[in-house]
Amino acid sequence: MTAAVVPIRAAATDAAGPPLLALEGVTLSFGGVRAINDVSFDVRKGEIRAIIGPNGAGKTSMLNVINGFYHPQQGTITYKGTVRRRMRPYDAASQGIARTFQNVALFKGMTTLDNIMAGRTLKMKRGFLWQCLRYGPALSEEIENRRAVEEIIDFLEIEAIRKTPVGKLPYGLQKRVELARALAMDPELLLLDEPMAGMNLEEKEDMSRYILDVNRLWGTTIALIEHDMGVVMDLSDRVVVLDYGVKIADGAPEEVQKNQDVIDAYLGVPH
Partner 1 sequence: MFYREAGQFKTSYRADMAVFPILQDRIGLGVILFVAVVLVPLLGDDFFLNTIMIPFLIMALATIGLNILTGYAGQLSLGAGGFMGAGAYACYKLTTYFPDTNILILVLASGLVSAAIGIVFGLPSLRIKGFYLAVATLAAQFFLEWCFIRIPWLYNSNASGAIEVPGRTGFGVMLTGPSASPEARYFAVLGLVALLTWIASNLVHGRIGRSWMMIRDMDIAAELIGVRPLRAKLSAFAVSSFYLGVAGAMMVFFWLGAAEPSSFSINLSFLILFMTIIGGLGSLVGSFFGAAFIFILPVLIRAAPRTFGIDVAADAVQHLTYMIIGALIIVFLIVEPHGLARLWQVGKQKLRTWPFPY
Q: Which of 214, 152, 158, 226 is nearest to 189 (CA)?
A: 214
Backbone φ and ψ of 77, nearest 5°? -120, 120
Using CB under 8 A, which of 29, 37, 78, 131 touches partner 1? 131
Neighbours of 213 (CB within 10 A): 14
Contact between 186 and partner 1 by CB under 8 A: the answer reads no
Residue type at 227 in one-letter notation: H
Q: Which of 69, 93, 76 is nearest to 19 (CA)?
A: 76
Contact between 45 and partner 1 by CB under 8 A: the answer reads no
Spacing of C-alpha 68 from chain mean position: 14
Neighbours of 82 (CB within 10 A): 9
- Tell me which stretch binds partner 1 (CB under 8 A): 17-25, 32-40, 115-123, 203-211: 115-123
- Tell me which stretch binds partner 1 (CB under 8 A): 35-43, 51-59, 112-120, 247-255: 112-120
- Measured on CA atoms in the order 178, 180, 185, 188, is the torsion positive or negative? positive
Q: Closest CB to partner 1 among 50 and 63?
A: 63
CB of 83 to partner 1, least distance (A): 22
CB of 131 to partner 1, least distance (A): 5
Using CB under 8 A, which of 18, 56, 109, 198 touches partner 1? 109
Using CB under 8 A, which of 12, 110, 148, 229 touches partner 1? 110
Non-local (6+) Cβ contacts of 26 within 8 A are 36, 38, 39, 40, 62, 65, 72, 74, 75, 76, 77
d(CA 214, CA 226): 17
Per-residue binding letters, 58-97, with partner 1 (x by CB under 8 A): ---------x-x------------------xxx-xxx---
Q: Closest CB to partner 1 among 134 and 209?
A: 134
- List residues binding partner 1 (CB under 8 A): 67, 69, 88-90, 92-94, 98-99, 101, 105-110, 114, 117-119, 121-122, 124, 126, 128, 131-135, 138-139, 142-143, 146-147, 150, 181, 185
